[in-house]
Structure 1
């Protein structure tokens, strides 16, 4: 964990907002390699990101920065591949295809604000970056090729020559090949493509211009004997019919041609590997006998060509053929013997797994995440996919969409009217308990996680009984007490904390209680919690167990429970190590061991699609609604008011009691105006004690742990910090502004603004 934090300190991070991105301002150190870039981002974030796209990714890129860098890099690549670029310049049009857009969404890393990144978000950023290029090239005097070379001389601006390969209906020559070039007619605003043979007529008598036009072809011919022969014979200048073997040569050499600066237009099935041979493993067709992550799943492997089934005998028949392209049921299929042998070996491994081992639901979900790792298949060239059978698919879709869940009535003893989305949360918790899964309720702060949880617990109390243990920060004890007594007054509960005892008492777990409430600190000390098999174990502010190595986290994970629930308003996906620790509590083993998960995350650098697989894997176990999502929460007011009840610290309690005794004595000796004055001054003193003992005592230390208010404020502000939101704090006392400012600086790692009656006009204007 410490190593992760050290790494983050030397990386430049981005986080995503509703419509934009923001670059984090890390602590400035002379040795930071990104200091110059930070300055550029502060001046103009879009210009900085566009120019960053000319660089290869560096070690100081965080995953989130790497993601938006990739978008800039893709834009630059697509611009450089426009054959009419020199003619069009700022009028050039470059769009993201639907496939590219979907790919970018799949590669989205776990980062702050990732829930905002959708089609519109990506396209908006694309347009902003494209506008930077258009403005710069409009005012650039040199050629476009020179413009690109100034930023990165390894970028090849595509030449004007294109290679086209299409299917042909002739049996002997099933493909047609033609070279074209882009030219701009005198009366046209855009360049057009015309066969390369026309260049012989256009540049007749001007050998220099002709050689310049076909310079990319000459470059490709240096490495391709096929193109070299066509160029020398002159056949390249006319449309050609090709055999399947010749077409296969062209397809395999596409990378070589494009490296030379020739754009290639070929059938989609080759680019997208639509007709490639692979393995599909279907898991969970039938409902298992028992539920939970230990449920045994049925699974079956099948061979496929694209989306069509293929028999093992047909695959072995392909091995007897010559390498190249063959027709199979109206589709062209690549015969690559090395790849086909690897597919057969992988198929045998899957069959062995189906024969020798029972596959649990947890194993099945990990199989989706990284099947190559689980089967020890090293070759990335093998197309092996995992799909959900009917039962597993329906189960996942239902959990991901709570509105479609079976409706369970809320108990009459629950005294509140839930909003529609809160009812969905209640139904979701019920369904998760029925299926035997751990659940993470991760709604935005202020959306009522506590009231949803109390509704669920009240249902459990009335219908199934048992015992529930709730672990939370000490600052939230008072809040939960108030909410339980308000919404579920019939629910018997016990506070397992010293603040609820007299000085001479020790904590004793009483019988005949349904809910037991304790703190993270007490959970570490109360060994007897491990002796009870709890029906429900709930963690509020569950980010408290994000560090898997701490004694506190280890102790809590050792408490046995049938169902585990985590509540957090903090985005749990900010750090993958935090995510693993949370799921190790909720559904142990789902994300594998620490070592297995670390190996998986390391591979994300070269296989960003793994982010999408991980998101899909954990999605059924997390319910997260955002205040900003009007599709889910349409009736939410713009302003939400939420009362947080704070518990006093031991020091505050002692001072409070001491002051009460002093006042009692004085009140008996005073009357009239003097008595009123004493009461008013005492109220002020009580307020000071409740703020912080040091305000009342006139000291300057202000240790946060001495004040329940400070600890409560920490809980609230840490969530705000994690989400990169803003907070406005009011205090009745001017002398509290400085201690609060110092305290908040520790949480937010930066200075905030302080405004009071003594703030100068100049300072106010700066704010």
Structure 2
């Protein structure tokens, strides 16, 4: 078995909602205790491949692990706890079905931590997991030969299943002693399928000494820990109904967890379960609309103290503190009173009023919700339940932020050329709504759902007056061509300039007389534009970008600012702008560490400063409920629709095809221009069949060069930075990996399959597969099975011909055509390896095109001139190219750098 002591176990949720245990390398030294725990987890996962999480629920680890593993361990332990509390389990062993406790699913959904696949954690997924635990227990106990108690003892000697004895505590309203206690035992199952209860004194009459000793075994265990139970046994009062006062009942209620841990079942009033003796302070904010927008808006507020389901005034709380400790009968209801906790509640009220004395802003209120004990200066976390709720106005705003369908529609401008799908229109409405309130927005739609077109539609709604400043779009340099293409296609009237050395032909040129040749636009020039596009790298280089007050700042692939310590991130955050939008196809809930930096740009101060958020993150190990508060804070500012969303899926075709434009690297540009020069010289000296052969050889040469210069030169290094296609493939596959999806990468060159495999393994951190014509038929079947299995295999690289027929690879929902065959029929045949019968996911097809090269020109011929395409895609296509005259041929091959 692999040594796991230098790794951290995490759980990732797959798109099909299956759980996969993965291992991440850690740098710190692992203690001997932790190493032993890791070994136990690894062995369990290896030995019980389908039921490992169920089995781990019986174990009591003294340590915390990753947030994702701790989360699912808690869920599994909840099942084991319910199993332990089930009466007559020995009788029901073949038919036991452990029901979900009411509210458990909602609690776990809200407390889901940031982890890979968090977006796939749904109520249905957790319910299915619970049913899987039921199935695992049934299979285990059916094969187990001993008693159920022996089964639990084998799993964990410290766990005690429920015995047959019950402790009951009820209200006794017609007595001077307000509570009644009785011990009963289960005498088999009744007709209603529930245990039949008899008073415990009956057992003395019907059981011999050995039977009575067995029956009371759980009570004797409880007596070892409880003076109350020991006294009841010693006095014999355990076998008779008892009347108790409030103090006696309170002492009993506090010990219930100890009784249940020993296997004694307890039936107690619901109000005790609901109150748990913790007072509640509720801060209600925003009943009235403030006079300004944004996080600095001043909100009205009021504060209330609650105990159980009662609301109390300050005077009532002070009166209770003077008179009561333990159980109190207040407003005709029993509640548990803890004086120290009530004092903390009053302290919280005072602190809130102090904060509000200078005005309670929306940002302050939100930060209070994130870490209320810290913000309110409470001495002990957990002593008071702080609840920040929304008043009438704020509730209505947050409701629309989280439900875009409720937002008033906005109409794209007349120059906008696309017809938006319904969910895209809702996205534009949502962006406009958040901007109207001064909130930053994160558009995080799934890859392929059209984030770019939604942004362009929103930009088209801006009034066409020149008083508005320009907007700035910051993207990875590799995406500039894609944005240019989308703008030309959907919003060609947008006055755009690209501030990048490789894209400056249409932009003002630097003054050649000055020593500083840096590209720069003046304020006057900027005011005439609608949009400036630049890269993340250049934001820190072009100081003039931070001296202009932009109308809107838009970040694409916003994970580029996830590290707050980099110069690049600090430069981006220094940009001034009225509105802020970030775009990402990567789930923002995958990593807690990235979240603060993203929101520090989007809505500065919402999550506090870096230190405050780091301190909050440290508390999540012991207080998983903090995840619920965090989600409530950030989700109104995030719009994420998945290809599996019911509101989206009906709008989409089963197969979405998109062109992915890549730019040549500097090394590729040099080699490409040299190759064009070589072609021009060579073509003048050949005629006839030799000329055709020459053209065909150069056609192959340019296609290889567009893939990677090392494919042409044979050097074998295949550095990613030397190929524009490798860089674009990386950005796509990083998102595929974050979502734990799978991808097929097709190339027509066998020699490219291994370099692509090696490169992709650095992105996916998992081994992938390669299939080409030299792979034996027998091995192909094994490769297909490996890819289709539940064990995560993220990618397969295929040569186009070998992967074109006879394969069923429906676990993939992404298909990449790394280089183009220029024959739609051949490419579609390859795509159909994923898009075929048995595919339950939407398939996204990425067709790579290298900008300015012969790839783009032939792609345009196919797209725009169908009549010519009919000739180009036939077997005589290469003949068509070879028959061009010298001028047209050189124009076809000549490099045209994008503007």
TM (normalized to structure 1)? 0.94
Which of 498, 501, 508 in structure 2 is aligned with 1:498?
501
Match of 1:139 in 2: 143
Which residue does 2:776 correspond to in 1? 760
* Conserved? CA contact 2:278–2:383, under 8 Å: no
Deviation, 1:26, is 4.6
Contact 2:272 2:336 in 1 (8 A): no
Unaligned runs of 5+ in 2: 784-899
Alignment partners' CA distance in 1, 2:763 and 2:225: 59
| Superposed CA RMSD | 2.5
Task: Kindly state the Cα deviation for residue 623 of structure 1 after the two structures are TM-superposed.
Answer: 0.5
Partner Cα separation in structure 1 for residue 49 and residue 739 of structure 2: 20
Following TM superposition, by how much is the alpha carbon of 1:140 offset from its aligned partner in structure 2, in angstroms?
1.8
Aligned-pair CA distance for 1:469: 1.1
Question: How far 1:224 moved relative to its partner?
Answer: 4.1
User: Residues 366-421 of structure 1, C-alpha deviation per residue, up to 9 Å, x if partnerless?
Assistant: 11122111011133122332111111111111010001101111111100000011
Q: In the TM superposition, what are the counterparts of 1:598-617 in structure 2 within 5 Å?
A: 598-617=614-633
Match of 1:459, SS state, is coil
Query: Do residues 656 (structure 1) and 653 (structure 2) align?
Result: no
Contact 1:25 1:38 in 2 (8 A): no
Q: Does residue 165 of the first structure (1) align with residue 163 of the second (2)?
A: no
Partner of 1:535: 551
- 1:473 is matched with 476
Deviation at 1:596, TM superposition (A): 1.0
- Looking at structure 1, the residues matched to 621 and 667 of structure 2 have their Cα atoms a distance apart, in angstroms, of 50
The structure 1 residue matched to 2:715, chosen from 680, 683, 699, is 699
| CA deviation string 1:258-316 (max 9, x = no partner) | 24331111111101218864321111111111101111122221223344432222222
In the alignment of these two chains, the number of paired residues is 758
SS at match of 1:644: strand
Distance in structure 1 (CA, Å) of the matches to 2:175 and 2:282:
32
Is it true that 1:237 corresponds to 2:221 in the alignment? no
Aligned to 2:83: 79
Counterpart of 1:359 in structure 2 is 360
2-structure distance, mates of 1:582, 1:431: 20
Matched-pair contact (CA < 8 Å) for 2:117–2:738? no
Distance (Å, rounded) in 1 between the aligned partners of 2:594 and 2:496: 31
Inter-partner Cα distance in structure 2 for 1:550 and 1:129 = 45
Structural mapping, 1:586-735, within 5 Å:
586-735=602-751
Q: Residue 368 and residue 632 in structure 1: after superposition, are their counterparts in 2 closer, same or farther (change >3 A)?
A: farther
Structure 2 counterpart of 1:336: 338
Q: Which runs of 5+ in 1 are unaligned?
A: 1-6
Q: What does 1:556-571 align with in structure 2 at a 5 Å threshold?
A: 556-571=572-587
Distance 2:568 2:780 in 1: 44
Cα pair distance change 1:28/1:592, threshold 3 Å: closer
- What does residue 419 of structure 1 align with? 421
Tell me, what secondary structure is at the counterpart of 1:387? Answer: strand
Shift of 1:682: 2.2
The 8 Å contact of residues 277 and 337 in structure 2, kept in 1 or not, is answered as no
Q: 1:442 to 1:530 in 2, by over 3 A?
A: same
Cα 1:707/1:630, change in 2 over 3 Å: same
Asked if 1:62 corresponds to 2:62, the answer is: no
Contact 1:275–1:331 (CA under 8 A) maintained in structure 2: no
Q: How far apart are residue 461 of structure 1 and its match?
A: 5.9
Among 13, 18, 21, which residue is 1:16 paired with? 13
Q: Which residue of 2 aligns with 1:742?
A: 758
1:368 match: secondary structure: helix
8 Å Cα contact 1:57/1:66 also seen in 2:
no
SS in 2 for 1:757: coil
Check 1:186–1:162 CA distance in 2 against 1; reply closer, same or farther (3 A cut): closer
Residues 83 and 161, structure 1, Cα contact 8 Å, conserved in 2 = no
Deviates more, 1:571-580 or 1:442-451: 571-580
> Match for residue 3 of structure 1?
none
State the Cα distance separating 1:490 from its structure 2 match: 0.6
Shift of 1:689: 1.6
Instruction: Indicate if the aligned counterparts of 1:15 and 1:112 stay in contact, CA closer than 8 A.
Output: yes
The 1-side partners of 2:748 and 2:643 are apart by 29
Rounded to whole Å, the distance in 1 between the matches of 2:255 and 2:766 is 54
How far off is 1:617 after superposition?
0.5
Quick one: structure 1 residues 462 and 73, their matched pair in 2 at CA, closer, same or farther if it must change by over 3 Å? same
* 1:128-527 correspondence to structure 2 within 5 Å: 128-184=132-188, 191-203=195-207, 206-273=208-275, 277-355=279-357, 357-379=358-380, 380-460=382-462, 462=464, 465-501=468-504, 506-509=518-521, 511=525, 512-527=528-543
Deviations 1:431-450 (A, max 9, x none): 11111111111001000011
- SS of the residue aligned with 1:288? coil
- Describe the shift of the 1:411–1:24 C-alpha distance in structure 2 as closer, same or farther (beyond 3 A): same
> Counterparts of 2:122 and 2:710 in 1: how far apart (Å)?
49
CA contact (8 A) 1:20 1:125 kept: no
- In 1, Cα distance between equivalents of 2:221 and 2:556: 64
Which has the larger displacement, 143-152 or 241-250?
241-250
C-alpha distance in 2, partners of 1:567/1:276?
42
**Judging changes above 3 Å, is the alpha-carbon distance between structure 1 residues 400 and 649 closer, same or farther for their aligned structure 2 residues?**
same
CA drift of 1:765 comes to 2.6
Please point out which of 115, 122, 125 is paired with 1:118: 122
Question: Given that residues 7 and 23 in structure 2 are in contact (C-alpha distance below 8 angstroms), is that contact kept between their aligned partners in structure 1?
Answer: no
Measured in 2, the distance between the counterparts of 1:535 and 1:633 equals 34
Contact 1:499/1:650, CA 8 A, preserved across alignment: no
Return the alpha-carbon distance in structure 1 between the equivalents of residues 271 and 394 of structure 2. Answer: 30
Structure 1 residue matching 2:658: 3-state secondary structure = coil
Describe the shift of the 1:186–1:552 C-alpha distance in structure 2 as closer, same or farther (beyond 3 A): closer
Give the CA deviation at 1:537: 1.2
What is the CA–CA distance in structure 2 between the aligned matches of 1:185 and 1:734, rounded to whole Å? Answer: 69
* Paired residue secondary structure (1:477): helix
Contact 2:423 2:647 in 1 (8 A): no
How far apart are the structure 2 equivalents of 1:188 and 1:279?
42
Deviation at 1:219, TM superposition (A): 3.9
Greater shift in the superposed pair: 324-333 or 422-431: 324-333
Q: Any conservation in 1 of the 2:162–2:264 contact (CA below 8 Å)?
A: yes
Counterpart check, 1:97 vs 2:113:
no
Q: Please give the TM-score of this superposition, normalised by the length of structure 2.
A: 0.80
Please give the alpha-carbon distance, in whole angstroms, between the structure 1 residues aligned to 2:667 and 2:167: 80
